[in-house]
Amino acid sequence: MELWPVPSRSISTSMLVSFVARDSFDFLTQRTLRYRRDVGDTLVDLDGDDVASRVLVEQYGHPFVQGDILFREGEPATHAFLLHSGRVRLLKRVRMVERSLSILRAGDLFGEGALMEGATRQSTAIALADGIVLSLDRPALRNIIERFPAVSERVLTQLVKRLRDAEDQIEVLMLRDTQSKVVSALLKMARGKDGAAELTMSPVDLSSRVGLDVDTVKRAVQRLRDQQYLRIVGERVEIPDVDALRRLYSLLGSKEELRGERKEA
């Protein structure tokens, strides 16, 4: 399997939710309801508005090249970042080993813990490709929300998605069986889909969702491939039959219950 990383949830996510809810969530919601626009492959692709794009990049943009370190874990944090173009990897040191948390793409918000006073970086950000990032303190973020509804909608959507992902992750982490965790995470990502489903993710994405190391996740996915529940095509995970995967999850749950009953007996 090639690279298949989803912003993983961190303490900084909940801190930003508190900040937005307190200072600008109502305003942000009103703006996005009044002005619904789509944001394309770059953050500031505002319905082809080149002038708006240039304004944002000129005011807040900072170019970077592959290999640049945007910030390091433990450093004081003063600015959040919106990725305009390029790709960035987030790393976190766990027991003296750096683990990949996620790979960010255009439109992703990261380093948002900086919007709280006295915050420090919870991870290290390294550029995987040349690009541009918008560096934002609190006033700058509010200014963008007021002036560019399409960007505000993207930020609001990300916050809602992160809260849902956090709830899903808690539920998955409560499972004890490795295969159950992986299958449950896949089903949650394929939520609302019947028949076949296609997911774009990396082994790091999946490992961050289930709380397992990448090698363990790869072995679990390989078993599902061998049983023909999954197909891997490039960076995509294809589920030929979502209902069949749901039935497998139910079966795994029944086995887990039986194990629990035997232990109690």
Task: Give 61-70 pLDDT, tens digit per residue.
Answer: 999 999 999 9
pLDDT band of 265, cuts 50, 70, 90: low
H-helix or E-strand spanning residue 250: helix 242-264
Query: Is the Cβ–Cβ distance between 116 and 217 less than 8 Å?
Result: no
Residue 23: the pLDDT is 42
pLDDT score of 57: 87
Alpha helices in the chain (DSSP H): 11-23, 25-34, 50-60, 138-147, 149-173, 178-189, 203-210, 214-226, 242-264
Q: For 117, phi and psi rounded to 5 degrees?
A: -65, 140
Q: Where in the chain is the domain with CATH 2.60.120.10?
A: 11-166
pLDDT at 221: 93
In this predicted structure, what is the pLDDT of residue 14?
A: 41
**What is this structure's pTM?**
0.61
Q: What is the CATH number of domain 11-166?
A: 2.60.120.10
Encoding tokens for residue 198?
Answer: 């296609």
In this prediction, residue 224 has a pLDDT band, given cuts at 50, 70 and 90, of very high
Of 189, 201, 203, 202, whose CA–CA distance to 242 is shortest? 189
Q: Is the pLDDT of residue 18 over 90?
A: no
Range 175-264: architecture per CATH: Orthogonal Bundle (1.10)
pLDDT value of position 234: 78
Confidence class for position 20, pLDDT limits 50, 70, 90: very low
From-to residues of CATH 1.10.10.10 in the chain: 175-264
CA distance 30 to 111: 25
Average pLDDT over residues 116-136: 90
